[in-house]
Amino acid sequence: SPTDAAKDAAARAAVALVQDGMRLGLGTGSTAVFMVHRLAARIRAEGLRLRCAATSRATCELAGRLGIAIEELDEIGWLDLTLDGADEIDPDLNLIKGGGGAHLREKITAAASDRMVVVADPAKVVEVLGAFHLPVEVTPFGVETTRIHIQRLLDAMGMTQRPMLLRQRDGAIFRTDEGNLILDLSLDRIADPAALGRGLNAIPGVVEHGLFLGMCHLALIGSPDGSVIELT
Residues placed in the known binding site = 28-31, 84-87, 97-100, 124
Q: Decide if 69 contacts 23 (C-beta within 8 A).
A: no
31 binds ligand DER (CB under 6 A): yes
102 binds ligand DER (CB under 6 A): yes
Exposure b/e, 132-155, CB count within 10 A at least 16 = b:
bbbbbbbeeeeeeebbebbeebbe
Which of 27, 205 has the CB closer to ligand DER? 27
Binding-site annotation: residue ranges for substrate = 28-31, 84-87, 97-100, 124
Considering only residues 56 to 95 of the shown chain, the ones binding ligand DER according to CB under 6 A are 84-87
Q: Decide if 180 contacts 104 (C-beta within 8 A).
A: yes
28 binds ligand DER (CB under 6 A): yes
137 binds ligand DER (CB under 6 A): no
Question: What are the catalytic residues?
Answer: 106
CB neighbour class for 65 (10 Å; exposed up to 12, middle 13-18, buried from 19) = exposed
Which of 35, 154 has the CB closer to ligand DER? 35
199 binds ligand DER (CB under 6 A): no
Residues recorded for the chain: 232
Question: Residue 20 contacts by C-beta under 8 Å, 6 or more apart in sequence?
Answer: 46, 48, 49, 50
111 binds ligand DER (CB under 6 A): no
Site residues (vs ligand DER, CB under 6 A):
27-32, 84-87, 97-100, 102-103, 106
